[in-house]
Each structure stands twice: as structure tokens, then as C-alpha cells.
Amino acid sequence: MAYKLINIPLEFEPALEDVQRINQQLKREELYLEPDNQGLKLYLNKADLKALQSLRSKLPSSLIDEMVTAIEKIGSYGVKGGKRIFVGYNKERKVQNRKSKEKARVKHFYTIGHKYRDKNTACPDEFQNQIITGDSEEVLKKLPDYCVDLVFTSPPYNFGLEYETHPDDSFWKDYFDKLFRIFDQCIRVLKYGGRIVVNIQPLFSDYIPSHHLISNHFLNRKMIWKGEILWEKNNYNCKYTAWGSWKSPSNPYLKYTWEFLEVFCKGELKKQGERDKIDIGVDEFKKWVVAKWAIAPESGMKKYGHPAMFPEELVKRVLKLFSYQDDLVLDPFNGAGTTTAVAQRLGRRFIGIDVSEEYCKIALQRVGEK
């Protein structure tokens, strides 16, 4: 039996008979006492404090009080059956024969039969470190297969925002049909082991779960789901606004203070790269693998004349967590160029595509800023 040892200093020497009487009333597998020249040694596995305190009436109350006080000072414990558990309470349940069970379940079974090949190609120099004005569906057709390391993008959400270049309130089927054709091109040009990260927010008022529809598309293309990151924007004005049926279950409208980052891999989960091209720090790694990122929204959208931009901090985390230095990063909805500007600053190569000539000019200026 494992115990937590607690030393209880006393101003008096306890009588051996008193210690023995207390031990007779305790369950040794839970806790017991031993006298010590400095006081008492309490061997503690678990304890029912109410039951322990009830012994004060028939046992030396001073010793019982010292035991209770010592136990109550322990701040970390589990609770089961009314008892505080002090040993093994936070130990993860161990899965026996984990490897064989994983093999039996078949990891990412939905990718069985994929035809992705483990043979990457170089991207032609003419496309590298370029901001390209055009329709991504058509521009991407000019790139060879398996030449991009990371796709990070945030497509227009179809919320009805005022873009000067295109409508943002399309019929939903038309919107997704076009979006998925572009994503299919992104999958094609992505390297084996490469990642696609899509920042998206559903349109809750239309009850369109965009993040689920997009994820389903990648699953249907036999991409591996690596995970989902919650981007907590701390938009408390949104959080405390009442919508829908006020104080009624008839039709309450749920509000959200976060967006989603859906992360997918092509062919395999592990991305090959050189160790000296890793630029993520230890503290950054430990913080960022917790998949809820509290990052304030972009505050400089008026400066760039764009109604929907994500912040540079978001891009920095995605690039450092999912890519190596010198990797080629693609944003097919580059907008005012946040992805490409951060990629350039972090020593990545980049391709940014957008239909707006004005946004592409801004993006070019930003990658020129050191």
C-alpha cells in the first residue's frame, strides 16, 4: 500500500498507548500513526474527515485535532465515497496493450484506400514568394502536385460583409461548391505529410455549421483530421448580448466568443523536416498545444481597408507549430496579406492569392516591411 508521509510536530510527547488506541480505530490501509521524537508520523492514503473527527469523544482529542488539521492543509486530493484520496488520485487510467488495441481499431480508418503518394516535388521559382492577383481555383491549377508544405487560410465566411471585389452573401450551395473546388486544388498541391489549417466561423443565424461541412469535405477526400483549435477572441459584447427568445426555451439563439481552426494532414500525421529548421520555443510549444488560444481580434483592419482579418499572432502560432523554416506556405484567400507577411518574417517561403488587386498591393507592401 502506498502512503503520503506527513510529519506532525507536537509540543508534547504523545503516549504510546494513545497512539495505539487511535490506530486500533483506523483502517491501516487508509491511514495510521507512528510516534516520533519530534511528534507524529502520519501515513496517509485516504481519509474520511467526518469519521475521524467523530473519534474525538472516545480518543485523545488533541491528537485527533492535530491529525485533522494536518490533513486539511493538503490542498491536492481526489474524492471518492466521501473520502479524500491522497495517493494515486491523479494517475491516468492505463490502457493495457495500447498498441494492439490501436491496431485493432485502425487509426484514422476513414483514410483507408487513399491514393496519396509519398513523393513530393519542388515548386517552380516563379511562384515562390509571390503575391498573385486572381481566382485561386485557376491560379492553383498552374502549380504542380505535392509542392506546398502548409496551407493556412480563412476564406470569406459568406456573412454578408462589404467586400468591394465579390459578394459575400451567395446561395450557400454555390458558396460551398466554389470553396470546395479551391480546397481540392489546395489538397492536390499539398505535400505528403503537409498540413491544411482553415480558420472558419459558422453563420449561426443561418444555422450553417461551416466548420463541420468543411471538415466533412476534407474527410471525404481522405485527409487525416489532426485536431481542432478554438480561437477564443474574448468578444464579451457578443457574449452578453441576448438574442432569440428572451428568457424562453422556444428559440434561444446561442452566441459564441470564439472561432475554429480545423487542422488536416495529407497522407500521414508526421511531417518531415530538419531539426535546425525548428523555431518554436519550449514555452511556446507547451502553451500552444493546449488547443484553446486566447488571442485578441485584429485591431488594424481600418488601416488595411479589409473587413475581416485575423491577427498576426494567430498566424505566428500556426506557422511555428505546424511548419519548419524555409517551408512553403500558401494562403489562397490572402486578403490584405497577414499570412504572407508573417511567413516572410518567420523565414518561410510563401504564395498569397487573392481576387482583389487592391488587397494584393497591400500584401506586397507588407512583405516588403522588415
- Measured between alpha carbons, how far apart are the two ends of the chain, in Å? 62
Q: Within 10 A of 160 (CB to CB), how many other CB atoms are there?
A: 13
The phi-psi region of residue 320 (left if phi > 0; otherwise alpha if psi is between -120 and 50; otherwise beta) is: alpha
Same domain, 175 and 38: no
CA distance readout (Å), 71 to 90, 212, 238, 369: 18, 49, 45, 60
Instruction: With respect to residue 96, please indicate whether it lies within any of the assigned structural domains.
Output: no
- Average pLDDT for residues 180-205, to the nearest whole number? 94
Longest dimension (CA), the chain: 91
Same domain, 77 and 137: no
Instruction: With respect to residue 108, please indicate whether it lies within any of the assigned structural domains.
Output: no
Answer whether 132's CB lies under 8 Å from 356's CB.
no
Same domain, 52 and 137: no
Could you read off the pLDDT of 27-66 as tens digits, one per residue? 999 999 998 877 899 999 999 999 999 998 888 888 999 9
Q: State which amino acid sits at residue 310.
A: F
- Would you say residue 241 has pLDDT above 60? no
CA distance readout (Å), 120 to 153, 173, 177, 183, 268: 22, 33, 28, 19, 13
Same domain, 220 and 305: yes
Instruction: With respect to residue 313, please indicate whether it lies within any of the assigned structural domains.
Output: yes
**Grid cell at residue 191:** 505535400
Same domain, 11 and 141: no
Domain extent, residue 66, equals 4-85
Instruction: With respect to residue 105, please indicate whether it lies within any of the assigned structural domains.
Output: no
CA distance readout (Å), 195 to 198, 273, 278: 10, 13, 16
Q: What is the DSSP string of 318-366?
A: HHHHH--TT-EEEETT-TTTHHHHHHHHTT-EEEEEES-HHHHHHHHHH
Averaged confidence pLDDT in the chain:
89
Could you read off the pLDDT of 307-345 as tens digits, one per residue? 677 899 999 999 999 999 999 999 999 988 999 999 999
Q: How far is Cα 204 from Cα 159, in angstroms, rounded to an integer?
A: 10
CA distance readout (Å), 266 to 35, 157, 177, 196, 205: 64, 24, 21, 8, 33
Confidence of residue 4 (pLDDT cuts 50, 70, 90): very high
Closest CA to 54 of 42, 68, 43, 41: 68
Q: How far is Cα 331 from Cα 344, in angstroms, rounded to an integer?
A: 13
Closest CA to 133 of 351, 368, 317: 351
Instruction: With respect to residue 120, please indicate whether it lies within any of the assigned structural domains.
Output: yes
What pLDDT is attached to residue 244?
A: 75
What pLDDT is attached to residue 257?
A: 86
Confidence of residue 162 (pLDDT cuts 50, 70, 90): low
363 against 89, higher pLDDT: 363
Q: State which amino acid sits at residue 292.
A: K
Helices 357-368 and 338-345, packing angle to 10 deg: 20
Instruction: With respect to residue 93, please indicate whether it lies within any of the assigned structural domains.
Output: no
Same domain, 236 and 303: yes
Same domain, 125 and 226: yes
**Grid cell at residue 15:** 503516549
CA distance readout (Å), 322 to 74, 151, 270: 41, 10, 10
How many domains is the chain built from? 2
